[in-house]
């Protein structure tokens, strides 16, 4: 019997929105039970976790039109330790944004391009429309339809890994 594939989900969440998104993606990925899903906060993840996984989902809040500092720290700590060792592996990304999210998604795509990962889905950006200091810092509640999209993405990643499509 073959060893099951592993999907690594690395995230940072400040107000809970990104955490809700990754939990939904994790639930979707675990639905078939054919893939091992590892959910790690950015501060707990590192190069060995990337090497041990077959595919990735990176998730971040948008902070000042960029990925969060702790996600950047994860990428900084991990980048050279896996360079030329994970190329061709599939990945997707989630962004919990206040207004746009495209720059945060673009930053993750550039890092993934440097690692020569294969994007298997467009970045999934959920916009909370938080524009005031109070709204930005408030705990987030992600809408059911957005969480459903996150579940579908997780399920698609896991299915693709399990079937060897990626």
* DSSP, residue by residue, 32-89: TS-EEEEEEETTT--HHHHHT-SEEEEEEEEETTEE-HHHHHHHHHHHHHHTTTSTT-
pLDDT for 135: 94
Q: Which helix (H) or strand (E) holds 133?
A: helix 133-137
CA gap 106, 159 in Å, rounded: 25
Give per-residue pLDDT as tens, 90-121. 999 999 999 999 999 999 999 999 999 999 99
Q: What is the pTM of this model?
A: 0.97
pLDDT tier for residue 139 given thresholds of 50, 70 and 90: very high
**Nearest of 6, 28, 14 to residue 95 by alpha carbon:** 14
pLDDT at 156 over 80: yes
Q: Please give the mean pLDDT across all residues of the chain.
A: 96
User: Which tokens hold the place of 56?
Assistant: 């990735």
Q: What is the pLDDT of residue 109?
A: 98
pLDDT of 1 > 70? The answer is no
- Nearest-angstrom CA–CA distance, 124 and 105: 8
The domain spanning residue 83 has which CATH number?
3.40.50.360
Calpha distance 60→93 (Å, rounded): 8
Question: What is the residue range of 95's domain?
Answer: 5-163
Q: Both tokens of residue 79? A: 């980048």
Check residue 3 and give its pLDDT: 87
Specify the number of domains making up the chain.
Answer: 1
Q: What pLDDT does 64 receive?
A: 92
Distances (CA, A) of 102 to 19, 30, 86, 90, 162: 19, 28, 25, 20, 29
pLDDT tens digit sequence for 40-56:
999 999 999 999 999 99
Residue 84 has pLDDT above 80, yes or no: yes
153 — pLDDT class (breaks 50, 70, 90): very high
């Amino acid at each position: 019997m073959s060893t099951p594939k592993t999907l690594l989900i690395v995230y940072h969440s400040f107000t809970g929105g990104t955490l809700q998104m990754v939990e939904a993606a994790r639930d979707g990925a675990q639905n078939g039970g054919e893939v091992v899903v590892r959910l790690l906060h950015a501060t707990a993840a590192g190069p060995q976790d990337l090497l041990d996984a077959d595919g990735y989902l990176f998730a971040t809040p948008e902070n000042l039109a960029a990925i969060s500092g702790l996600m950047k720290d994860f990428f900084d700590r991990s980048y050279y330790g896996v360079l030329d060792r994970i190329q061709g592996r599939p990945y997707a990304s989630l962004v919990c944004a206040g207004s746009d999210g495209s720059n945060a998604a673009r930053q993750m795509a550039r890092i993934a391009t440097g690692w020569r990962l294969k994007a298997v889905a467009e970045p999934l950006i959920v916009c909370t429309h938080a524009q005031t200091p109070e709204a930005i810092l408030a705990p987030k509640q992600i809408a059911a339809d957005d969480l459903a999209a996150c579940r579908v993405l997780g399920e698609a990643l896991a299915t693709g890994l399990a079937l060897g499509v990626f």
